[in-house]
């Protein structure tokens, strides 16, 4: 395996809100038959914020990652916020996560936000590995903190029951690591650009001119059109990706996909010759946590020993827009 940019994953952390929402709660609220959500959507339970904010969850995940890496905040050289949701339009979310640490006033490392919606973490990891080629960067923290529950429409059960809230943090470092980036590719298929959208809140439908309406200010997903677009593009994306990489898909040790949907994970398994043994599937227990889905699954895989020193790991996901991103890396903590 030829490493194009060396890095190690020094520390990982995650945070879930305390409140667990069961299918029975949603089925009763939406007047759905018992068992409908698990059968059709594939989720058993998901976490949902009560008083927690994006900033709070991101701070908790980062604090856990710092402890795991045995690092202090002052040893971080850059913080990247990789999320689609936020507490405020500005300042950017990573600035607020940094500010939430009492010691932050004495530390001036830069805070950057990256938003490619559900694939934000993949984009951020590629960018962070590039920053590590600069001598002034030694340790970079990536935090994905997502609250989907505030933006869901109860009139659309397909998405209302699919999504969950949560946060994850990863710290990557340089040095004499034997791990790092093997290959990265992202492609945007604009014919599907508006298949997932929140129409209200921006300048096109500004709150000053458009009063709150659940349909306008909530997440909309044209599920069938989106699935058709993914079926049409994902096989060619993966085929082209591995033509350009050193190892074939069948030899990858672990695949960590975006937990997009039951059908999305099933489609990925079919492209993996029907093999699900090396695909991380956490959809049933946490739902789709937007950009936090991939790092949450990655953190779990590292913590439970499913991803080990020297293993190859393929991160893959689709995002609103419609973008597909893939990143292959060799895992090392050293």
In the chain, the domains with their CATH numbers are: 5-175 (3.40.47.10), 181-330 (3.40.47.10)
Residue 72 has pLDDT above 90, yes or no: yes
Residues 260-296 pLDDT 10s: 889 889 999 999 988 899 999 999 999 999 999 999 9
Concatenating the DSSP letter of every residue in 216-283 gives TSS-EE-HHHHHHHHHHHHHHHHHHHHHSSSS-GGG-SEEEE----HHHHHHHHHHTTT--TTB---H
Cα separation of 115 and 196, whole Å?
A: 15
Query: What does the pLDDT read at residue 274?
Result: 87
Nearest Cα to 110, choosing from 141, 154, 64? 141
Structure tokens at 69: 């890496």
Cα separation of 25 and 164, whole Å?
A: 14
How many CA within 13 A on the CB side of residue 71?
A: 25
Helix ranges (H only) for the chain are: 23-30, 36-40, 54-69, 93-99, 120-131, 157-160, 223-243, 262-271, 283-286, 293-303
The average pLDDT across 55-70 equals 98
Residue 323 has pLDDT above 90, yes or no: yes
Concatenating the DSSP letter of every residue in 135-159 gives TT-SEEEEEEEE--GGG--TT-HHH
Cα separation of 145 and 81, whole Å?
A: 8
Residues 119-131 pLDDT 10s: 999 999 999 999 9
pLDDT band at 39 (very low <50, low <70, confident <90, very high): very high
Cα separation of 147 and 142, whole Å?
A: 17
Q: Is 199 exposed, middle or buried (0-12, 13-18, 19+ CB in 10 A)?
A: middle
Residue 177 has pLDDT above 80, yes or no: no
Residue 111 has pLDDT above 80, yes or no: yes
Residue 65 has pLDDT above 90, yes or no: yes
Query: What does the pLDDT read at residue 84?
Result: 95
Q: What is the pTM of this model?
A: 0.94
Structure tokens at 103: 């010691």
Residue 47 has pLDDT above 90, yes or no: yes
**Which helix (H) or strand (E) covers residue 111, if one does?**
strand 111-114
How open is the CA angle 275-120-266, to the nearest 5 degrees? 20
The average pLDDT across 243-253 equals 93
pLDDT band at 188 (very low <50, low <70, confident <90, very high): very high
Query: What does the pLDDT read at residue 221?
Result: 76
Q: Could you tell me the CA-to-CA distances from 209 to 151, 197, 198, 251 in Å, in that order? A: 19, 19, 16, 54
Residue that has been written with the tokens 């936020």 in this structure: 86
Residue 321 has pLDDT above 80, yes or no: yes
């Amino acid at each position: 395996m030829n490493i194009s940019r060396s890095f190690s994953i020094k520390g990982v952390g995650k945070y879930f809100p305390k409140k667990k929402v069961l299918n029975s709660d949603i089925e009763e609220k939406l007047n759905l038959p018992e068992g409908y959500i698990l059968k059709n959507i594939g989720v058993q339970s998901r976490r949902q914020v009560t008083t927690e904010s994006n900033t709070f969850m991101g701070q908790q995940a980062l604090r856990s990652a710092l402890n795991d890496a045995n690092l202090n905040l002052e040893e971080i050289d850059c913080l990247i916020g990789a999320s689609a949701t936020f507490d405020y339009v500005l300042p950017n979310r990573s600035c607020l996560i940094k500010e939430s640490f009492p010691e932050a006033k004495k530390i001036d490392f830069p805070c950057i936000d990256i938003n490619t919606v559900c694939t934000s973490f993949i984009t951020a990891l590629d960018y962070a590995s590039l920053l590590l080629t600069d001598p002034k960067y030694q340790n970079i923290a990536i935090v994905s903190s997502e609250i989907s529950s505030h933006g869901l429409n109860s009139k659309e059960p397909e998405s209302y029951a699919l999504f969950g809230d949560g946060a994850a943090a990863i710290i990557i470092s340089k040095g004499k690591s034997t791990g790092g980036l093997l290959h990265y590719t992202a492609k945007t298929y604009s014919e599907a650009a508006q298949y997932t959208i929140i129409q209200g809140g921006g300048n096109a439908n500004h709150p000053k001119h458009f009063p709150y309406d659940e349909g306008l200010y909530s997440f909309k997903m044209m599920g069938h059109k989106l699935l058709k677009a993914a079926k049409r593009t994902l096989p060619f994306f993966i085929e082209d990706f591995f033509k350009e990489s050193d190892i074939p898909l069948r030899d990858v040790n672990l695949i960590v996909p975006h937990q997009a949907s039951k059908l999305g994970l099933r489609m990925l398994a079919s492209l993996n010759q029907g093999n699900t043994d090396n695909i991380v599937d956490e959809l049933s227990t946490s739902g789709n946590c937007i950009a936090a889905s991939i790092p949450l699954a990655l953190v779990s895989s590292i913590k439970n020993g499913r991803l080990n020193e020297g293993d190859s790991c393929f991160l893959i996901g689709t995002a609103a827009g419609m973008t597909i991103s893939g990143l292959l890396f060799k895992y090392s903590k050293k």
